Structure 1
Amino acid sequence: MSVFDIFKKLDEEKAAKAAQPIEWLVVGLGNPGSKYDNTRHNAGFRALEGYCARTGLKIDKMKFKALVGEGMLGGRRVLFVKPQTFMNLSGEAVRDAAAFYKIPPERVIVLSDDVSLDVGTLRVRPKGSAGGQNGLKNIIYHLGSEEFPRVKIGVGKKPHPDYDLAAWVLGKFTAEEQKAIDRACEDAVSAAACIIAEGCAAAAQKFNGKCRMENGK
């Protein structure tokens, strides 16, 4: 095979992928604006931003009240979504994107922070309530369903029960927590890929409760 044949084959494969319809949404939750960078509430954004840095994917087109980008994940064509409505109204962007591409709730994967999990720990769930997370609550409202998978990224519990929850989730990670949250965010996208390719049960078995905080494992 000549070099021209190789490039032709690559172009054909690229065109074939581009022709595939969007089959899944992968939504990272967070608040827009630099003041919210590195906050606990922005773990979903951070997961997608890390994926972009590793792969060159661009999530930079404004559509559906969100920044979006198309790509392959888990062998399927995916629309990556970062709602720009602020956390409490995240469901508006998800609803509009899902309606446009005719994506049912069970193929909408949401990456979000979770204050009930230690920093660096993941939990995959095929469905369920919002668990106090306002972004998930709004998505449930706008989709009219709890039947969508989510990957919860542990951002740490409040220091004590009386600590203000809003202040906690809008606070930033400590220097000691940075490596753990970065690894968890990387694993969160891998978990989403596993959900797409193998299902929620397989993803839960591989990723639930696992933390790579120590020794990079």
Structure 2
Amino acid sequence: DDRKLLLCEPQTYMNTSGEAVRALVDYYQVPLNQVLLVMDDADLRLGEIRMRPGGSSGGHHGLESIEQHLRTREYPRLRIGIGRTESGERRITEYVLDQFSAEERELVAKAVDRAADQVECWVSQGIARAMSQFNGVVTA
């Protein structure tokens, strides 16, 4: 296979990640349907993975920045659930920066492995197949 794949992790704050994504899209002249954004999502259960061809930011500040800089919501994204702390327990900003427990790390590792398989499927077979085959919750 002679396809090229570029993996990038913006070195910006999450809330300004749209700047880095826009710069990469422009520099490499990548069509937006060939850009896949992968992110954690506190609104999905721990271990859930969900790929979509587009949609709203759902309040995710990183996606809001990307939508602003790309001027569209129509780009593929893969969200990996990290769960959310119980209401009132801790602020979300503290939660997303905290460490996972040993049990949670095991589940996250399985979800990341499955997400990597989903990305390979997306590259080779397209988004519809990747969504139908891999979207869902990983169990321990």
**TM-score > 0.5 by shorter chain:** yes
Q: 1 or 2, which has the higher strand percentage? A: 1
Cα shift at 1:137:
1.3
Partner of 1:73: none
- Letter aligned with residue 137 of structure 1: E
- Letter aligned with residue 52 of structure 2: R
For structure 2, the residue ranges without an aligned partner over 5 or more in a row are none
Partner of 2:51: 124
Rounded Cα–Cα distance in structure 2 between residues aligned with 1:105 and 1:162: 38
Deviation by residue 1:124-182 (Cα, 9 ceiling, x = unmatched): 11101111211111111111111111111010122126742212212221111011101
Checking the alignment, whether the CA contact within 8 Å between 2:22 and 2:69 is kept in structure 1 is yes
- Paired residues in the alignment total 140
Partner of 1:67: none
Superposed, 1:200-215 pairs within 5 Å as 200-211=127-138, 213-214=139-140
Rounded Cα–Cα distance in structure 1 between residues aligned with 2:88 and 2:70: 32
Rounded Cα–Cα distance in structure 1 between residues aligned with 2:62 and 2:84: 18
> Secondary structure at the residue paired with 1:82?
coil
- Letter aligned with residue 206 of structure 1: Q
Match status 1:115 vs 2:42? yes
Partner of 2:21: 94
Instruction: Identify which of structures 1 and 2 has the higher relative contact order when contacts are C-alpha pairs closer than 8 Å and 6+ apart.
Output: 2
Rounded Cα–Cα distance in structure 1 between residues aligned with 2:83 and 2:137: 14
Checking the alignment, whether the CA contact within 8 Å between 2:84 and 2:92 is kept in structure 1 is no
RMSD between superposed Cα atoms in Å: 1.6
Give the greater-gyration-radius structure (CA).
1
Checking the alignment, whether the CA contact within 8 Å between 1:92 and 1:139 is kept in structure 2 is yes
1:151 equivalent among 75, 78, 84? 78
* Structure-1-length-normalised TM-score: 0.60
Superposed, 1:135-174 pairs within 5 Å as 135-160=62-87, 163-174=90-101
- Letter aligned with residue 146 of structure 1: R
> Secondary structure at the residue paired with 1:130?
coil
Match status 1:198 vs 2:125? yes
